[in-house]
Amino acid sequence: MRPVRVALDLLGGDRAPDAVVDGALAALSTDPELHLVLAGPAELRQRWAAVADRVTLLPTDESVGMADAPVRAVRSRRTSVRLAVEAVRHGAAEAVVSVGSTGALVAAAVTELGKLSGFRRPALAAVLPAVAHPVVLVDVGAHAGASDADLVRHGRLGAAFARTVLGLDRPRVGLLSVGTEPGKGDALRRKADRGLAGSGLNYIGLVEGYDVPLGGRADVVVTDGFTGNVVLKTLEGALALTERGATSPRAATLLGVAGHVVVGHGAASPADVADCIAVATRAARENHLARLRTMLENPGSTPDPAPSEPAADTPAAQPRDGAPIETASARAGRSENRLQARTTAAPAAT
């Protein structure tokens, strides 16, 4: 495994910062090639003193609460979620994780990383362990509403994601509705049904709620963020009632932005945080973003296996001005120094 650097928002989530720090330490113990860039209070340093050489701190005491407006994440440059996302933009990290406000993370990711060409809104994708096979559900909460064109774009993102992560040649895409017969559902679903049918995707038509936990009919289930979030949390509650005490995955991937962004459940435990970091680490190591772009640009191409891992000090591309190239580790260190200098020197937000 090659070394990977993941940025983590320490102040996001209902149980922050303790559960987030515990999850970070668990992730570090599991993956010896992981380095974390932590955005949070300086007084927490002692918690990771034993692995201080594998941790970089971006000090801040400013957070975005679950009840705060998401725009707070972009109005202030010192919030922990924005600093974590900025670490990716500046090259100090290859992926970012937060279990805090989804809206704040989406706003910060769009502002700092930008959107993929052709995608008006990003969407959250969750891979669910259905009975027949894993099912990608998209959107699970990036945006509450959606237009019919948004739902078609969700289908494209979800299909490309399923090809990238699950290795499916031609994933079957279904649209969540109240029945499978043509014409079922509200006006939005009827328009989206027609749009998906003409999208060139392997669209199999409408699916119902039970098709999400059972699988079998569709590999990707498309819906709006409000409905998707309700479905996800309903499944989570149902699984928690089983005798095995199983829980649903609490990590979702933000699709449609130019970076590896993983969102966790607000009530995440340390184990959930560690799982989110593992998802982000895999995405960075296998370069899911580059593969996703390829799938979107070439829908008929065959999914490639995960790329072989380059050395940690693989040189960056030659700059246009002919300046000497620098290694990935040197570039990351320079970016960290710049980020830390700014966070230390910046005045407190008003």
Q: Summarize pLDDT for 270-285 with one digit per residue, the tens.
A: 999 999 999 999 999 9
CATH of the domain at 199: 3.40.718.10
* pLDDT value of residue 77: 82
235, 327: one domain: no
Domain boundary among 252, 287, 314: 252
| C-alpha span between 128 and 136 (Å, rounded) | 6
65, 142: one domain: no
Q: At what angle do helices 270-285 and 18-30 cross, to 10 degrees?
A: 50
Domain boundary among 252, 270, 294: 252
Amino acid at 60: T
Residue 302 backbone class (left: φ over 0; alpha: ψ -120 to 50; beta: rest)? beta
As a whole number, the mean pLDDT across the chain is 86
| Residue 154 · residue 256 · CB < 8 Å | no
194 C-beta neighbours (distance < 10 Å), count? 12
* pLDDT value of residue 239: 74
pTM above 0.95, yes or no: no
pLDDT tens string 222-248: 999 999 999 998 888 877 766 554 555
Domain boundary among 203, 231, 252: 252
219, 138: one domain: yes
14, 106: one domain: yes
pLDDT tier at 314, thresholds 50, 70, 90: very low
101, 166: one domain: no
169, 248: one domain: yes
The three-class DSSP label of residue 282 is: helix
67, 142: one domain: no
CATH of the domain at 339: 3.40.50
| Residue 2 · residue 311 · CB < 8 Å | yes
Average pLDDT over residues 191-216: 95
pLDDT value at 156 more than 60: yes
Domain limits at 189?
Answer: 118-252
87, 205: one domain: no
Domains contained in the chain, number: 2
pLDDT tens string 12-34: 999 999 999 999 999 999 999 99
107, 143: one domain: no
